[in-house]
């Protein structure tokens, strides 16, 4: 934990702290040099962006689309929920497919395995119809969910990712969707499985990269090679997205190597740590500002970490315990890497 200087000076001086520009958090000063049209690297816990290249460029996402399809199903259905395969789902034989038969009954869990591990397009159609009644209605639900997740530069027209007019996403949006999914235990468990029944996971990154634990491959002629790849080392999980790559496993591996080698997670402050102390003649008590929860960020190895405290301009006694009194902003070099509210701790009476 970083030790911060305790302040014990008149509050009128503290309130003169000036505002300063907020810098985009977490971008790497030095970036990997491998060619990749669109790519991003983020920390899964905080969402910090550690590398970015053309991250908002709209591109065909191919079967990485199935991450969002799975998220919707996982959040609604128990895995043992039965699904009757429709004629439309059975007819979906383009691209990867299991060859589902109309009228057969499959559990949601088995369909999710088929969809995420084998990238089965017919399974994706069956899930979509079970959820919304039709592929078209499900696409609307996908877009609403994407918006709620924050993936606002994406638009989906089907649940599987086969090329479709007006079906697109971005590296940034897919990172948001994958990060959201990895918070769901069922999703996280599914995408790290190397095999299901007699099938191997199409994501060979799981066996090619140390610590790999997800997430989804994709390929079409229009999209090229697409990969959303996660890996965990020493309890620290990073996520890389590469789109329209010629060598997706190499590109994703280089990004993750860069993250693990150049950065490190750091606890900047612990819950309840006193970061500022105010004593004034007008107050019969000492006001202590603390953070309400642990503050963690990913910083470049060797970077100088500092902080700045800003207090509310309308701060006047008495201040109730738990009330927000300001905020603390943490820097690694010149970049803002974290910020947290400061709240009042229970007062210490003189």
CATH number of the structural domain spanning residue 284: 2.60.410.10
Torsion of CA 24, 30, 33, 35, to 10 degrees: 0
Predicted confidence (pLDDT) at residue 3 exceeds the cutoff of 60? no
Confidence of residue 51 (pLDDT cuts 50, 70, 90): very high
Q: Is the dihedral of CA 192, 198, 204, 210 positive or negative?
A: positive
Task: Judge whether residue 176 has pLDDT over 50.
Answer: yes
User: Is residue 28 pLDDT above 70, yes or no?
Assistant: no
Percentage of the chain lying above the pLDDT 90 cut = 78
Q: Is the pTM of this model over 0.75?
A: yes
Q: Are residues 127 and 220 in the same domain?
A: yes
- 198 shares a domain with 125: yes
CA distance 221 to 226: 11
Is the peptide bond between 215 and the residue preceding it cis, with omega within 30 degrees of 0? yes
- 158 and 19 part of one domain: no
167 and 236 share one domain: yes
Is residue 216 flagged as an active site residue? no
Is residue 119 annotated as a catalytic residue, yes or no?
yes
Give pLDDT tens digits for 272-303: 998 988 776 665 667 889 999 999 999 999 99
Structural domain of 315: 11-24+266-349
Has residue 25 got a pLDDT over 70? no
- Of the listed ranges 6-15, 50-59, 319-328, the least confidently predicted one is 6-15
Identified catalytic residue from 63, 154, 230, 307: 63
Is the same domain home to 44 and 17?
no
Q: Let me know whether 142 and 172 are in one domain.
A: yes
Nearest to 59 by CA among 182, 227, 210, 178: 227
| The pLDDT value given to residue 246 | 93
Does 236 lie in the same domain as 281?
A: no
Catalytic residue, chosen from 86, 96, 119, 245, is 119
| CA 212 to mean position of chain CA atoms | 16
* 226 and 329 together in one domain: no
pLDDT tens digits for 228-251?
999 999 999 999 999 999 999 999
The predicted pLDDT at position 279 comes to 74
pLDDT over threshold 90, residue 35: no
Round the average pLDDT of the chain to a whole number and report it.
Answer: 88
Is it the case that residue 11 has pLDDT exceeding 70?
no
The answer to whether 241 and 59 are in contact (CB under 8 A) is no
């Amino acid at each position: 934990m970083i030790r911060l200087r305790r302040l014990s000076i008149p509050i009128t001086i503290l309130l003169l702290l000036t505002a300063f520009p907020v810098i985009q958090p977490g971008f790497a000063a030095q970036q990997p040099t491998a060619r990749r049209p669109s790519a991003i690297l983020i920390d899964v816990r905080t969402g910090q962006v550690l590398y970015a290249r053309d991250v908002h460029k709209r591109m065909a996402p191919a079967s990485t689309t199935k991450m969002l399809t799975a998220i919707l199903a996982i959040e609604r259905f128990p895995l043992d929920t039965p699904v009757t395969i429709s004629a439309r789902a059975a007819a979906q034989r383009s691209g990867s497919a299991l060859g589902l038969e109309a009228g057969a009954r499959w559990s949601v869990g088995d369909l999710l395995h088929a969809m995420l591990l084998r990238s089965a397009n017919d399974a994706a159609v069956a899930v979509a119809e079970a959820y919304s009644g039709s592929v078209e209605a499900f696409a609307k639900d996908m877009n609403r969910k994407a918006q709620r997740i924050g993936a606002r530069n994406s638009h989906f027209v089907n649940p599987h990712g086969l090329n479709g007019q007006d079906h697109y996403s971005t590296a940034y949006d897919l990172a948001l969707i994958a990060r959201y999914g990895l918070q769901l235990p069922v999703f996280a468990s599914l995408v790290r499985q190397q095999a299901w029944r007699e099938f191997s996971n199409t994501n060979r990154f799981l066996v090619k990269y140390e610590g790999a634990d997800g997430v989804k491959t994709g390929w079409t002629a229009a999209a090229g090679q697409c990969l959303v790849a996660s890996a965990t080392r020493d309890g620290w999980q990073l996520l890389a997205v590469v789109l329209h790559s010629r060598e997706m496993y190499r590109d994703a591996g280089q990004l993750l190597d860069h993250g693990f080698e150049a950065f490190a997670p750091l606890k900047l402050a612990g819950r309840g740590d006193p970061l500022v102390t105010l004593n004034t003649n007008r107050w019969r008590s000492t006001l202590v500002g603390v953070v309400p929860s642990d503050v963690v960020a990913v910083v470049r190895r060797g970077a100088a970490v500092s902080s700045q405290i800003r207090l509310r301009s309308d701060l006047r006694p008495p201040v109730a315990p738990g009330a927000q009194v300001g905020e603390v902003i943490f820097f690694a070099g010149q970049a803002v890497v974290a910020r947290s509210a400061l709240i009042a701790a229970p007062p210490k009476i003189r």
